[in-house]
Structure formats: structure tokens, C-alpha cells
Amino acid sequence: MDKKIKVIPCSGIGKVFGLLARESVLKTVLELCPEKSETICLAYIVSGDEAVNEKIAKTRCITVDGCPKMCASKNVALAGGIVIEEIKVLDTVKEHKGKNFGSATHLDADGEVVVNEIAEKIAIIINEIN
């Protein structure tokens, strides 16, 4: 089993919640836990990319979904990944009612706050495991 935990966001193209998911994951794997985690593009998983699916199979994964459809979580599980935690962006967003997070392509200051909160949650999970 690969020791690095895979942290996989939804694609969420066209939605600010998808951007929040992706930015949270990037902050985690590039800044907070680079030695313990990495990310994989959900599109490769969904399209059945053989090399990616081999990399994810039987590997511990944290998914970050921007909406209730939970596409990242469902597709990681279908590809054989072991989903150890499902992070829902909306759970964090609910704590910031009335705030403007930005758009599908740009985060405002409130969006950055949410990204940092979600990334910290992910990092705590990763550090508890490793």
C-alpha cells in the first residue's frame, strides 16, 4: 500500500464550491502535508485511466466534495480506493452564512478563509493517520 494518502477533490467546474474543494486540496498537498499526501485528478479516475486506477486501488483516500452529489467520493470508491474520510465543502460553508466566497474562477477573502479551514481539517486527519 502506498504510504501517501490520496486527497481527491471534485471537479466542480463552474461552481465556487468546486473551486473551494480544489484549492483546499492543493493547499493541503502542496503546503501543509506534502510528504504525507498527494492528489490525483478526478477526471482520470472517472475516465478509467488504468495507471491512475492502479495507483488508487486499495489506497487510503480523503475526498473533498463541493455538493451533495459526492462525485469524488463515489468515483474513488468505484475505482477501488479506500475512502477514509469524506469532506463536504458545504459543511464548512454553512458556518459562514451570508459571506461571498467568490466565483467559479476566483476566490474572495471569505473564500480563502474557507479554503484554509478545510485544508486544516484535512491536514489534521492526515497527521492523525501518519
The predicted structure's pLDDT at residue 47: 95
pTM: 0.95
What does the CA dihedral 64, 30, 27, 40 come to, rounded to 10 degrees? -20
Q: Which of 64, 82, 85, 76 is nearest to 1 (CA)?
A: 82
Q: How confident is the model at residue 117 (pLDDT cuts 50, 70, 90)?
A: very high
Give DSSP secondary structure letters for 11-80. --TTSHHHHHHHHHHHHIIIII-TTTEE---HHHHHTT-HHHHHHHTT-EEEEEESSTT-HHHHHHHHTT
The predicted structure's pLDDT at residue 113: 98
pLDDT in tens, 12-58: 888 999 999 999 999 999 999 999 999 999 999 999 999 999 999 99
pLDDT exceeds 70 at position 100: yes
- List the domain boundaries for the chain: 5-129
